[in-house]
Structure 1
Amino acid sequence: MDHMQAAEEAPRAPGRPRSLRVDEAIISATLDLLAEGTSVEVLSIEAIATRAGVGKATIYRRWPGKEALLHDALATLKHPGPEVTGTSVRDDLIALLSQVGPTNHDPRFAKIMPCILPHLMRSEEHYQAYQDIIEPRRNRVRQVLNRGVENGELRPDLDIELILAMLIGPILVQRVLRWHPDLDADKMPEQVVDVLLAGMGPKQ
């Protein structure tokens, strides 16, 4: 009997409910396998169950199949991010952009995303699931930009969606693909924001 099966059968100990501990073990096993190089196509419920130390039936009671489990597992990699202060568009954008791409929240993200991106591009269903995961974070940046337009910090004629892509794109590419070896991804949020703010501010 492995450790998680023992945990399922043992008397409940103080702390997290047993079902939550099992859910976390299954999610963690899924992410571990992906981070170790298991492709989405090869990843199986059986392998996840073995790594998590649970039976396959335990997983199927929680998720209808691999795709639903994969969606929830990837969603946990996206940290909610910092609370914006509202003091200035610049400060809020830098705080939000500092959480773009692989961060210290979960080191597995950096290993998983480059491998899973081709899969997302091949599957419209998974692409939409990925959009569902990142849209709340994207919307927080959108809200800061809209606030800046409303209070006069930014020009009223900005294409908000284009600015979103211009803010997030360079940082994401650098952090995921390490596109340019001479660029420091940790400094880029401030650098990108300052460059773009020069063109986004009110017309003189």
Structure 2
Amino acid sequence: MNEDTNERRRSIGARRNPETEQAILEAAEAIMAEEGIAGFSIDAVARRARAGKPTIYKWWPGKTALLLDVYHRHKPASVHMDTGTVEGDVFAFLTGVFAHWGDTGAGQVFRFVIAEAQRDAVAAAALVEYSAERRIQSGKVFQRGVERGELRPDVDVGLCADMLAGFIWQRLLTGRIERDPEQLRLVARQMVQGLLAPLRGANGHRTSPSGLTRG
């Protein structure tokens, strides 16, 4: 057994070795920071982390899956904070995601992931799995609204999460990452309150589609 093999970090079967996993993720982050997408490969990560390629492929089926883990590690906590209202939660989500994409290389990484998913079945599967997990997490924003009585009880929270994801993905892919708080508040308000004109109650006061009276 040669020196290179001795120095390699070892897998402990299907269960991930935390030290090896950390080394792989740190190596992947460093390569992204230093060389960008063009220099990123499983070979490069394996060399830098001193980990075997079979170990990496056992835990991540391809570089897209690994990139998604690197991407998600640095997503700010403010993206999924509970502000007490659905509209506030959506605004916080939009603000956090667009800041993350605009201030770091995360936007470039996610655009690459989406592009790879269009031509590679393994990448597409990784994106589908990642999106399903995020759909559940984003759906909690709307589920809390249902539980608080802000939203109708028959609201499909998964569909709401899809609409939110669709908006931010479209903005990312067309180079229109929004940073203006007023515009983001408008998006959150329109997404949550809808497009219907206010109704007129029996007393002549306007009411929102949710039934809340407005002056």
* TM bucket normalised to smaller: 0.5 to 0.7
> By how many angstroms is 1:194 displaced?
0.6
The one-character-per-residue Cα deviations of 1:58-87 (angstroms, maximum 9, x if unpaired) are 232631377345413322212263352352
Deviates more, 1:158-167 or 1:98-107: 98-107
Q: Which residue of 51, 60, 69 corresponds with 2:53?
A: 60
Determine the C-alpha separation between the residues in 1 that align with 2:27 and 2:112. Answer: 20
**Larger radius of gyration, structure 1 or 2?**
2
The one-character-per-residue Cα deviations of 1:129-183 (angstroms, maximum 9, x if unpaired) are 113223333222211212212322012343433322332322332234314xxx7
Flag the 1:130–1:34 CA change in 2: closer, same or farther, 3 A: farther
Q: Which residue of 76, 81, 89 corresponds with 2:77?
A: 81
AA aligned to 2:165 is: I
> By how many angstroms is 1:20 displaced?
6.0
Determine the C-alpha separation between the residues in 2 that align with 1:171 and 1:193. Answer: 12
Deviates more, 1:143-152 or 1:92-101: 92-101
> Percent of pairs identical after alignment?
22
Determine the C-alpha separation between the residues in 2 that align with 1:173 and 1:117. Answer: 11
Q: CA RMSD in A?
A: 3.6
| Aligned 8 A contact 2:117 2:127 in 1 | yes
> By how many angstroms is 1:19 displaced?
4.3
Higher relative contact order (CA 8 A, sep 6+): 1
Corresponding position of 1:12: none
Corresponding position of 2:149: 152
Corresponding position of 1:174: 171
- Aligned to 2:100, the other structure's residue is in SS state coil
Determine the C-alpha separation between the residues in 1 that align with 2:24 and 2:91. Answer: 34
Does residue 72 (structure 1) correspond to residue 62 (structure 2)? The answer is no
Does residue 97 (structure 1) correspond to residue 99 (structure 2)? The answer is no
Determine the C-alpha separation between the residues in 1 that align with 2:128 and 2:99. Answer: 17
AA aligned to 2:141 is: V
Flag the 1:106–1:156 CA change in 2: closer, same or farther, 3 A: same
AA aligned to 1:202 is: S
Corresponding position of 2:204: none
Structure 2 gap ranges (5+) = 9-17, 196-208
Determine the C-alpha separation between the residues in 2 that align with 1:47 and 1:168. Answer: 32
Instruction: Give the alignment's TM-score, normalised by structure 2.
Output: 0.63
Flag the 1:34–1:139 CA change in 2: closer, same or farther, 3 A: farther
Matched length: 180
Corresponding position of 1:202: 210
| Aligned 8 A contact 1:120 1:130 in 2 | yes
Corresponding position of 1:193: 188
Does residue 127 (structure 1) correspond to residue 124 (structure 2)? The answer is yes
| Aligned 8 A contact 2:25 2:70 in 1 | no
| Aligned 8 A contact 2:42 2:63 in 1 | no
Structure 1 gap ranges (5+) = 10-16
AA aligned to 1:62 is: T
